[in-house]
Structure 1
């Protein structure tokens, strides 16, 4: 019996390709036909439309009316989307496992990534501290 998935792309590959096309458009909304042309593939327009609708349902793209259909824009850039996915996975872990998930994530970081994370956390802490010490008019509280 032939494998039904033999000619299929890996899960998420089409979504990634569609998102790449949207990001390449530099803030210009694209219709499914535009995306199909940009991909230069043999994908049916209905397939592209389905992928865009799924991305919209996930909150990854926004859409506006364009004729009888829609034109789509990415909600975030690639790094923003990756951060959002990481946060979603962390939120799925639940309060009981949150500490364990974060601890394992940090323990598996490469040394350079760990150093970068420490720097980013220190910068965020300094910014938060500076925000708390500013008064309502932007001056120092006293």
Structure 2
């Protein structure tokens, strides 16, 4: 699931604040200082995507991340690979750029998937 810049910034703020945030606090804390109405529009969009939940607190809503960051990152990587014209070349290039820690995590994940992990 691809996220726009403001969607990503809002999700990052919500992931850093698992107890939730009000739209006004989100707007005030973002570097781009978007209008509260813009933040509310994006929160509605994220809610429709199933990434954000909201709970009424007084007259406002408290927004929380409904999607885990790791799940969103994994989906983004999968979607990017789906776009590759040559999947094997894309994977080879990706693997050639990762750190040794990422390479080890990939080996471990593939081994677990195949039932050959240690």
Q: Does the TM-score normalized on the shorter chain lie above 0.5?
A: yes
Find out whether 1:16 has 2:1 as its counterpart.
Answer: no
Q: CA RMSD in A?
A: 3.1
- What stretches of structure 2 of length at least 5 have no aligned partner? none
Which of structures 1 and 2 has the larger relative contact order (alpha carbons within 8 angstroms, sep 6+)? Answer: 2
Question: 1:28: how far off?
Answer: 0.8
Q: Is 1:32–1:48's contact at 8 Å kept on the other side of the alignment?
A: yes
Deviation at 1:72, TM superposition (A): 1.3
2:50, 2:67 within 8 Å by CA — same for their partners in 1? no
CA deviation map 1:28-86 (0-9, x unaligned): 11121121232265321101111111111122212222334422111234332111233
Residue equivalent to 2:39? 48
The whole-number CA distance in structure 2 between the counterparts of 1:75 and 1:103 is 33
Report the counterpart of residue 86 of structure 1 in structure 2: 77
Aligned equivalents of 1:85, 1:69: Cα separation in 2: 31
Query: For residues 77 and 106 of structure 1, do their structure 2 counterparts lie closer, same or farther at Cα, with a shift above 3 Å needed?
Result: same
What's the TM-score, normalizing by structure 2? 0.69
Tell me the matched-pair count: 111
* Unaligned segments of structure 1, at least 5 residues: 1-10, 130-142
Matching of residues 1-142 of structure 1 within 5 Å: 12-25=4-17, 27-39=18-30, 41-88=32-79, 102-111=87-96, 112=100, 113=102, 116-126=105-115
Larger radius of gyration: 1
